[in-house]
Amino acid sequence: MFNKIMKRGHRKVPKPDGAAVDYSYAPTGRSSGPVSTSNVVVNHASRGGAPPVSSQFQQLPATAGMVPLPGTIENLPMFRDVPVTERQSLFLRKLQICCFQFDFSDTLKMVREKEIKRQTLVELVEFIQSGSGKISESNQAEMIRMISLNILRCLPPASHENSGSENLDPEEEESYLDPSWPHLQLVYELLLRYVVSSDTDTKVAKRYIDHSFVLKLLDLFDSEDMREREYLKTILHRIYGKFMVHRPFIRKSINNIFFRFIYETERHSGIGELLEILGSIINGFALPMKEEHKLFLVRALIPLHKPKTVAIYHQQLSYCITQFVEKDYKLADTVIRGLLKYWPVTNCQKEVLFLAELEEVLEATQAAEFQRCMVPLFRQIARCLTSSHFQVAERALFLWNNEHVVSLIAQNRKVILPIIFEALEKNIQSHWNQAVHGLTVNVRKMFLEMDVELFEECQRQYTEREANARELEEQRELTWQRLAAAAAQER
């Protein structure tokens, strides 16, 4: 009996000739490690595998995932050509046509069937968009099944996985274009129109657009096709706005994606798009800000400065960080210290980005928060001022072009000027770049006009330090000469 059960379990289902793989159960993650959420297990070990989609997607139509034999797909009448009473049944038949899968790598294969499916998808989108008829609950379930079958699929291997190289600059990689996009775009458009439609009842729709479905949409953000990520960004943002029940889950799931990216893979195509969504979410946070939002800032957003590919998504990240400080000015000290923690040591381009972000944060910083972090902050700025990379030194000097930053510095000049005075003097004496030299002279003059006595005192201390340093150097040189002479006598 046991042997019969085992044989039955290993029996293979025959496929018709030219059948494509059924993608309905394929995960989309690229990261490592299993993640369990809401009784859904997604295996991130690779882009292949077969976890279940979710309970309501188990009973797919008989045609799901199969490539039809030539001639099995027929054109159906348009919605306007049938009575209103028959439109729901016609809607279901059109959904079933769209469940067929095709091989888009061969443009000459099954051209007629592909065009019928494309036209059917166009009609479904127009039907939803027109609002000419409210879709029945059973048809909504079938529609989400069809959408899931088409978009919740295995993503192709990433370009760096194909090449076997981990050191490629993602900005230099050629953009990937999915050959199935003419159909995928229409499926995404159908989902978007369904989500934003005023006829869509959220109480009904949340049964099908559930946590499992949202999690799989988030996994698709790793797609290398920018067009797909743009649709995903719009759709997820709309889901977040319409389905309040999903909001904590979406934030937590994005948080987990960031963690895997920062601490494991440092490879993900959709970090910028996810940050764009978060920018809008943060903008809507109510005050006083919840503790979980502050923890998200500290544990996920600030550490996103660590990866070497930060330049790709830095604009969106900087916007999110600045939003937090503008919402709650008391977070300025936390953000500035976080930036200092992840400040690049050898990457000058990252330093320029950090300095630009720092200026935006300082724009929203109040005097009390500024005073808490100004000592470590200006020690770092002093190092940037004397950088041999002229763009870093120049960008640091541009801080004095900002009126708010200058006012903060002026209020705390007795602490700040002694920290950076040496850096200013060294630039004037020996920096190779003429533009940096000129900007330094302007900043030095600004401090002189702020407080003559303080400036003269700093200059006196600097002169003493330089004299002491020269004296020590002379003594060290004299000691070496004596040692050399003694060694020569012993020979």
Three-state secondary structure string covering 201-233: CHHHHCCCCCHHHHHHHHHHHHCCCHHHHHHHH
Mean confidence (pLDDT) of the chain? 85
Beta bridge partners of 37: 40
3-class secondary-structure state, position 177: coil
389-423 pLDDT, tens digit per residue, is 999 999 999 999 999 999 999 999 999 999 999 99
3-class secondary-structure state, position 178: coil
Rounded average pLDDT over 432-455: 96
CA distance 481 to 476: 9
Which percentage of the chain shows pLDDT scores above 90?
A: 70
302-360 pLDDT, tens digit per residue, is 999 999 999 999 999 999 999 999 999 999 999 999 999 999 999 999 999 999 999 99
pTM: predicted TM-score of the whole model, two decimal places: 0.81
With a cut of 50, say whether residue 463 has pLDDT above it: yes
Q: How confident is the model at residue 130 (pLDDT cuts 50, 70, 90)?
A: confident
> What pLDDT, on a 0 to 100 scale, did the predictor assign at position 74?
78
With a cut of 50, say whether residue 442 has pLDDT above it: yes
Q: How confident is the model at residue 177 (pLDDT cuts 50, 70, 90)?
A: confident
CA distance 459 to 145: 74
**What Å distances lie between residue 31 and 24, 42, 224, CA to CA?**
20, 10, 15
> What pLDDT, on a 0 to 100 scale, did the predictor assign at position 13?
37
Rounded average pLDDT over 206-220: 96
Cβ neighbour number for residue 22 with a 10 Å cutoff: 18
With a cut of 60, say whether residue 488 has pLDDT above it: yes
Residue 458 near residue 423 (C-beta atoms within 8 A) = no
- Range from 9-18, 231-240, 455-464 carrying the lowest mean pLDDT: 9-18
CA distance 288 to 188: 37
Rounded average pLDDT over 96-114: 87
Element (H, E) at 36: strand 34-37
Q: How confident is the model at residue 161 (pLDDT cuts 50, 70, 90)?
A: low
18-57 pLDDT, tens digit per residue, is 333 333 333 344 433 333 333 333 333 334 433 443 333 3
Rounded average pLDDT over 421-440: 95
Element (H, E) at 37: strand 34-37
3-class secondary-structure state, position 386: coil
**How many Å separate Cα 418 from the centre of its chain?**
40
Q: How confident is the model at residue 172 (pLDDT cuts 50, 70, 90)?
A: low
Residue 65 near residue 24 (C-beta atoms within 8 A) = yes
Q: How confident is the model at residue 66 (pLDDT cuts 50, 70, 90)?
A: low
Burial class (CB in 10 A: 0-12, 13-18, 19+), 229: buried
Rounded average pLDDT over 274-288: 94
68-102 pLDDT, tens digit per residue, is 555 567 788 888 888 888 999 999 999 999 999 88
> What pLDDT, on a 0 to 100 scale, did the predictor assign at position 335?
97
Angle subtended by helix axes 226-242 and 181-196, to nearest 10: 10
